[in-house]
Amino acid sequence: MVSAVSQKDVLFTPQLLARLNQWVTQSPRSSMAYAVRSYFTQSYLWEDMALEIGKRSLKCPPTDDDLERLGISLADASIALSLDAKNPLALTSKLRLGKVGALAQNGQAQNGKHAVAVESVFQALIAVKPDSFQAHLEKASYLWSQDQSGSGQAALSFLRQAAAQAPADSALPMLVPMMHIQIANHRADYRQYLSQPQVWQEIQTSSERVVAQHPNAVPYWSMLADVATVTGRTELARRYQHIAINRAVTHPADQTWPKMMTSVYK
């Protein structure tokens, strides 16, 4: 069932829900069954409420159905974790629900009915998957949603710390340039922001640290080329793009990209 269901390829339809309900009924001791149902339920909420990194409010107040689905998803995640406390999918679902629940309750993350102890869930998840892009991005997204300034700096500081503590061969430092791009995309002066010497230096240094260890990661080279282009570093952009094209030809299987990345172009 897990291999057959992908958030990217499958809509959360009544038919899918029926299949997930059947799986839970047939396997009541399966942590993964509850985790998958929780994940898809909260993914539906995520799309329905137009939630993404940088969002600090919902497009519209949650309906009673939204809150009911939120409660069901949290309950499923809790059951999954009671059966297997290290289930990474259940932990990921519960971590994302921290932001959904906080925004659905007007920011009352710690006091509402659907409160999630985000930090403890994050720590449990990185204990299982220390280099998880998803775990760090979900916490960064939560931090941004709770940042009263709306600047994204709290999320950026968190990711800088994660990058500094990451092993030499980790790709986690790539989260820092990714966050700079997210911040830029929420600003009217996004080109000027990315062009700031300190911002460009951090993007270039963090990215080059990662590509030195993962030289065939085509999207990382492409991202560097895009930012260099946007900030007017034409010759450098050509060099990065040339590397990206060569790597795409010689290593076509390495063209994956972490979730939640967005273009540097408006």
Residues 181 and 227 in one domain: yes
**What is the per-residue pLDDT for 66?**
77
- Residue 141 in contact with residue 182, Cβ under 8 Å? no
Residues 47 and 170 in one domain: no
Examine residue 9 and state whether it is found in any structural domain, yes or no.
Answer: yes
Which residues fall within 8 angstroms of residue 198, CB to CB, at 6 or more apart?
none
Q: Using a pLDDT cut of 90, give the percent of the chain over it.
A: 51
**What is the per-residue pLDDT for 123?**
95
**What is the per-residue pLDDT for 141?**
86
Distances (CA, A) of 168 to 83, 177, 236: 34, 17, 25
Query: What is the rounded average pLDDT of the residues 96-113?
Result: 64
Encoding tokens for residue 4?
Answer: 């057959």
Q: Could you tell me the maximum CA-CA distance found in the chain, to the nearest angstrom?
A: 60
Helix (H, G, I), strand (E, B) or coil at 214: coil
Encoding tokens for residue 66?
Answer: 């939204």
Model confidence band, residue 6 (pLDDT cutoffs 50, 70, 90): very low
Mean pLDDT of the chain: 83
Encoding tokens for residue 8?
Answer: 């990217």
Examine residue 242 and state whether it is found in any structural domain, yes or no.
Answer: yes
Model confidence band, residue 7 (pLDDT cutoffs 50, 70, 90): very low
The Cα–Cα gap between 230 and 217 comes to 21
**Domain range holding 253?**
147-266
Most confident of 65-69, 84-88, 166-170: 84-88
Residues 151 and 236 in one domain: yes
The Cα–Cα gap between 234 and 146 comes to 37
How many alpha carbons lie under 13 Å from residue 106 in its C-beta half-sphere? 1
Query: What is the rounded average pLDDT of the residues 224-242?
Result: 94
Q: Which residue has the higher pLDDT, 111 or 248?
A: 248
**What is the per-residue pLDDT for 151?**
87
**What is the per-residue pLDDT for 52?**
57
**What is the per-residue pLDDT for 174?**
94
pTM here is 0.80
For residue 30, pLDDT beyond 60: yes
pLDDT in tens, 37-83: 998 888 777 665 555 555 555 656 777 777 888 888 999 999 999 99
Number of domains in the chain: 2
The Cα–Cα gap between 36 and 73 comes to 10
Which range, of 145-149, 167-171, 180-184, 217-221, averages the lowest pLDDT?
145-149
The Cα–Cα gap between 106 and 102 comes to 6
Q: What's the distance, Cα to Cα, between the start and end of the chain in Å?
A: 38
From the number of C-beta atoms within 10 Å of its C-beta (0-12, 13-18, 19+), residue 167 rates as exposed
Which among 71, 99, 130 is the end of a domain?
130
For residue 255, pLDDT beyond 80: no
Angle at Cα 96 formed by Cα 92 and Cα 102, nearest 5°? 150
Residues 90 and 42 in one domain: yes
Q: How many residues does the chain have?
A: 266
Q: Which residue has the higher pLDDT, 22 or 117?
A: 22
Residues 112 and 176 in one domain: no
Examine residue 138 and state whether it is found in any structural domain, yes or no.
Answer: no
The Cα–Cα gap between 203 and 35 comes to 35
Which single residue is written with the structure tokens 């403890």?
120
Q: Which residue has the higher pLDDT, 167 or 103?
A: 167
Listed residue (20, 59, 68) closest to 40, CA to CA: 20
Listed residue (52, 138, 47, 155) closest to 96, CA to CA: 138
Model confidence band, residue 256 (pLDDT cutoffs 50, 70, 90): low
Residues 213 and 101 in one domain: no
Angle at Cα 256 formed by Cα 254 and Cα 259, nearest 5°? 160
Residues 181 and 126 in one domain: no
For residue 121, pLDDT beyond 80: yes
* One-letter amino acid of 183: I
Residues 214 and 163 in one domain: yes
For residue 85, pLDDT beyond 60: yes
For residue 1, pLDDT beyond 80: no
Residues 8 and 93 in one domain: yes
Residues 101 and 223 in one domain: no
For residue 258, pLDDT beyond 80: no
Examine residue 126 and state whether it is found in any structural domain, yes or no.
Answer: yes
Examine residue 92 and state whether it is found in any structural domain, yes or no.
Answer: yes
Residues 220 and 158 in one domain: yes
Examine residue 135 and state whether it is found in any structural domain, yes or no.
Answer: no
Examine residue 91 and state whether it is found in any structural domain, yes or no.
Answer: yes
Residues 214 and 189 in one domain: yes
